[in-house]
Amino acid sequence: MSGCEPTGQASERQRAGWRWGVGARAPTVLTVASGPLTTERRTTRQIQVGSVAVGGGAPISVQSMTITKTADVEGTLAQIYALAGAGCDIVRCTCNEAAAAEGLAQIVPRSPVPIIADIHHQYRMALAAMEAGVQGLRLNPGNIRKPDQIKAVASEARDRNVPIRIGVNGGSLDPALYEKHGGLTAEAMVESAQQELAYFAEVDFDLVKISVKASNVPLMVEAYRQLAEVTDVPLHLGVTEAGPPPAGLVKGTAGIATLLLEGIGDTIRFSLTADPIEEARAGRQLLEALGLRERKNVDLIACPSCGRAEIDVYDVANRAMEAFGERQLPLQVAVMGCVVNGPGEAREADLGIAAGNKRGHLFVKGRNVAVVPESEMVESLVEWAEFIAEHGADAAIARVDTALAEREAAKDRSALLASQGDDANHADEKIVEIRKTVS
Ligand code: SF4
């Protein structure tokens, strides 16, 4: 198993002097577990969505959307709290009818995060949502197309200081643009956003962010790239209707991560056909994996398992994931199948455990610190992680006799090598057979 290589080099587009939208770019050096990730973020204006700043160098925020009826105040609040606990910074709720707007009036004051109202076809719902006190709106230019209605909403938002996301969606593009561009194209989506911006400008409203989502990843990536060239408005990234995991996660990650690594994007949402908590987790984990947000929860790594494994690595890793749950322990924790290679391969992890001879060998920053019965591996990991999060790795190492733990690990390592030999995966035997077959 090899570690990740640091990605500190400029992309082809950067080397080619590709123009990064409007305005200058400030290099940002971010530190991730495997090393520094250097990227230049596109400089955007900053807007404020309630307490969360978006754009202008603010941390990239994670968004998701409730799937309850907004009129169900308690049910919706329960979901908002769960989303916030999973790392969501901003939550969107549908505002499709008067009862939903009334629900928002009760939800907004009790929500732990800013609430954005998603407006469908009725511009009056946007006015009602602002009356309810929402911190932001999302308008789909393909759904509300009458200029006087768009300008009425923007004027009210201007007076109330409420930002609006222009949420262009490939599936509901204005038919006139569809026809003009001969179908759904990146140019058509960008033009839709620009038309809406022009209506907003007519009433002197500029508290805006934009999304140009499509379910087709290359199309979505191209639309955002084009948009980034013509405006400094903060961008909300997402692949719409990505579908259920794992395919939905792959599509969302492909589109969002590609753009983030080009410095494009100020806030993100995974659109999954799944519990919205999965969306929030995925968003948070993606930003942490790219070094764009501080780690909040455990980053669990595990070996892929092989013939040398002394435990069911999948089972222990899954149980560990479950045990760490939403505990806010910003550590990298490793689950390794054997003590022969595990501690060495995961020496960069803050904490890890490797199996050997029916025992679990705990190691901190590659140093063996304790031996526990196999049945207590997960429990011990959690206990040590909590100690390290509170006191640091050095204090954890200092509280034990590492020489004793290393002797025990060496004993089990030798026993395993003696019983399995150097070639636990029987590769040498297979090679002999292959040679016989092809000779
Ligand atoms: S079981 Fe051991 S050798 Fe096999 S992948 Fe895991 S750590 Fe590596």
Closest-CA residue, ligand 1 atom 5, reads: 305
Q: Report whether residue 337 contacts ligand 1, using a CB cutoff of 6 Å.
A: yes
pLDDT single digits (tens) 15-32: 333 333 333 344 444 444
Q: Report whether residue 238 contacts ligand 1, using a CB cutoff of 6 Å.
A: no
Q: Is the peptide bond before 112 cis (omega within 30 degrees of 0)?
A: no
Is the pLDDT assigned to residue 438 strictly greater than 90? Answer: no
Q: In angstroms, what is the span from residue 424 Cα to ligand 1's centroid? A: 10
- Give the span between the Cα atoms of 297 and 62, in whole angstroms: 15
Q: Report whether residue 355 contacts ligand 1, using a CB cutoff of 6 Å.
A: no
Q: Distance from CA of residue 319 to its chain's centroid? A: 22
pLDDT single digits (tens) 164-184: 999 999 989 999 999 999 999
pLDDT single digits (tens) 82-117: 999 889 999 999 999 999 999 999 999 999 999 999
In testing the pocket of ligand 1, which one of 313, 314, 316, 345 has its CB within 8 Å of the most ligand atoms? 345
Q: Report whether residue 356 contacts ligand 1, using a CB cutoff of 6 Å.
A: no
pLDDT single digits (tens) 243-285: 999 999 999 999 999 999 999 999 999 999 999 999 999 999 9
pLDDT of the residue at 39: 67
pLDDT bucket at 308, cuts 50 / 70 / 90: confident
pLDDT of the residue at 425: 74
As a whole-number percent, the residues of the chain with pLDDT over 70 amount to: 91
Q: Distance from CA of residue 151 to its chain's centroid? A: 34
Rounded to the nearest 10 degrees, how much is the dihedral formed by the CA atoms of 167, 171, 177, 181?
Answer: 120
- Residue 5 pairs in a beta bridge with none
Instruction: Kindly state the average pLDDT of the residues 291-314.
Output: 90
pLDDT single digits (tens) 36-74: 455 688 999 999 999 999 999 999 999 999 999 999 999
Q: Report whether residue 416 contacts ligand 1, using a CB cutoff of 6 Å.
A: no
